[in-house]
Structure 1
């Protein structure tokens, strides 16, 4: 697979693997052995960038906890020096799966030490502040991350779900390698960050690049999703209204797919990869076929005219189905 650079030096595969869905947010967790197999298949396909987080904890079919960092750590341990592992700290799970932001130095250190143990590694390649904490200034968080870098416990740091002002202030204390934000054909609001990222030489890691699977064209309606364990059961793009708003886009993607001998998901990822050289999408999947499909998106070239066609549809459509991210 082609590679890209996050920040000034962190080289990763052009498409990374978001590991969250293997155990969290998309229904009952995949069997641990199968999930480890999937990650190792990804390595064989050329993926070198794997994303997880402390709070990605789901439930196996037998009711036991499915801890994402543990399976990522076990899967990658034999080839740890050949891959880039990213994880996140600074939020904890509260009651009823609600999360609580805590980016205090003590909390971040506790989270980091636990992540190192679960991932079976001495150093984390890219460590994110998972969400902003209103009680902590960006300079304090950046100084904490700088300390971790000096100790050799992390190589690079980043922020997920951040505001421009926060990014600028934090970067002035300790250079940020990447931010992680929602970005897809159906959520383009975060593109406003691009000029700042170019000014500061910061990479952009795109989560939910397929709008939680909607852009693959494989899922219709919410009825098929577990109401308790699958976040897609309440996502607006899967409602009849959301699908109707996206009808023109999905029709265009279907046409381009035939023209390019690709899938709608591949066209969606290729569009993103064409936008900026520092964007790295991290789609997730539990299926080997989809792993291969997503990886091959990096080989698809869209012309300027193709991208223009897509952008014109986006510019006059009504399907901003995701609410603005209040934590930013």
Structure 2
């Protein structure tokens, strides 16, 4: 049994954060998401969900590369201690890929008897992979996701021995994830409910408990668009959450203790999908976007980088997957 407690919001005006945003990629994709910055190489890895391509973008030069699989990708994460090797989600499968040799292997098939596929995923402080599923329906991979169902999805983790643990079922669409600096809180987005949740988190066991609603798009005066949903998420060194607002054309920084939106960043693409910290000092926020079916935008599908005038805004390194 999970207990929910909603935090009421009492403000109206939301300031725009002092920042500079510019296009970082020399290419664009159909539906970019799942960004992961690798500090060893200075590369930003991400996927194109619709085309079925894994990308890297060199953050120091215009160079980039891609690895084609099949449509239905959602994340790519390096495997710790294994050069050029990654774990990737592709429809119902967790795969390992070797970027150098192009070898692809299936690690696990998830929910084989259900009409669902994998969605967003990240690694916790122990190197376990956490990921959610979503209803497949009649979704065609030639267009952006648009069909969803309540209660058919779940949240899982995968450990280094390839053991799958069910964390919670009866969900609809799990997206962005983050862990607090002291490793006692796990934050996750439920996009269909349009909410951001916080759990008490046991770093040793990976158990979660005591779910609390941190932000509810239905109640926030800062969410003016009725179709806007929270999508990808990251966290900074002050334990403030950064949320990509899909169909909202913005990124938001929120305080999970109060539920207050501390500031926003307007983006060039209405379909702002996800984000992560990178750069040599992790003071750069990289933002992925997607092309919209109904709104033509010149830079949609590009990756953008955001830098800040406030010197105290900084993130931390992404965690690789620990795999035996």
TM-score by length of 1: 0.29
More helix by percentage: 1
TM-score by length of 2: 0.29
* Bigger Rg, which one: 1
